[in-house]
Structure 1
Amino acid sequence: MDTSRKIAVSKVVGAPAGQVFAVLSDPGRHREIDGAGMLQGVEGEPQPLVAVGQTFAMNMHQDALGDYRMINKVTALMPDARIGWSPALDPGCELAAKLGDMEVGGHTFTYDLSDQGDGTTKVTQTYEWMSVKDEQFLAMLPVVSENQLSASLDRLDEAVR
């Protein structure tokens, strides 16, 4: 398996899997656990993530790109065990007009939860971009580092306590 387009980090957090899943499945709390500092907040009234295919919009900011919006599609959902989404640039946001034909999508963020049986959960966060097809976008990846992913797990640990 090609691992050159994937970063995975793990941490045991101080809460049972159900409590961890509750935070991850609430887009309104994603900014709280963002170790990269890009998330500005969910667009609209946050709804719990309950099904594969569900979407939610997230307002974003990067100094190099400015403000923009990503539409995230849930790609994995097994309560208390796994949740993931694939972000794509909202074609209606200002950044999309600036980027022209660049297809900003094809990467995923997935969290796998393993209840340790002692009130803690091993969380593995995987960021992968194996399905990215646009060469211009591919040259910009990864958009988050291993350190930023680890910081997200540290923040998740704080959020679930």
Structure 2
Amino acid sequence: MSTDQVTAERLVAAPAERIFALLSDAARHREIDGSGTVQGTSNESEPLYMGSVFGMSMKMGLPYSTKNEVVEYEPNRRIAWRTTGLFGLIGGRVWRYELVDQGSSTIVRETWDISRDRQRVALRRGNMPRSTKRNIERTLERIATVVEGS
């Protein structure tokens, strides 16, 4: 991987407001997760906002949990959270969603940003960037399925 970011985007036939409502509801992240690793959330149904902290139950081989903090927030345009684990000893990657309103459709861009991740050197190697790209594309497909049917 030549950069610290993996990005994919998709045109979704739904307004940005509907997509943002889905993304800012941590309780629904399992529903849209294209990797299959999200098992649940500790966040009640309260929408996320700048500075929100929420936990995720994850499973990639073995179960683990993460702490996530919303670090970018612009209603109906951008939301991002930084993910850490093991009491902040690992992680630091940012999951970012950017929405570009196209009228009745929206360009949804998801980015995995490891530029400040403690494991970024290891994450750049091997299959992780490629598998992350596939998982992002699956997530975008799931987002489209959920909001286009609403």
Give the TM-score, by structure 2 length.
0.88
Matched-pair identity in %: 33
Alignment size in residue pairs = 144
1:54 Cα deviation (Å)?
1.2
Contact 2:90 2:118 in 1 (8 A): no
8 Å CA contact retained: 2:27, 2:43 = no
TM-score (norm 1): 0.82
Task: Indicate if the aligned counterparts of 2:39 and 2:59 stay in contact, CA closer than 8 A.
Answer: yes
Give how far 1:46 is off: 3.4
Mapped pair 1:121 → 2:120:
no
Amino acid at match of 1:39: V
Local SS of the residue matching 2:107: strand
1:90 Cα shift?
Answer: 4.5
Query: Going by fraction, where is helix more abundant, 1 or 2?
Result: 2
Helix, strand or coil: the match of 1:30? helix
Q: Which runs of 5+ in 1 are unaligned?
A: 92-101
Greater Cα radius of gyration, structure 1 or 2: 1
Higher share of residues assigned strand: 2
In structure 2, list runs of 5 or more residues that go unmatched.
none
Whole-angstrom distance in 1 between the partners of 2:2 and 2:121? 15
Cα RMSD of the aligned pairs, angstroms, is 2.0
Equivalent of residue 153 in structure 1, options 123, 140, 143: 140
Please say if 1:83 is aligned against 2:79: yes
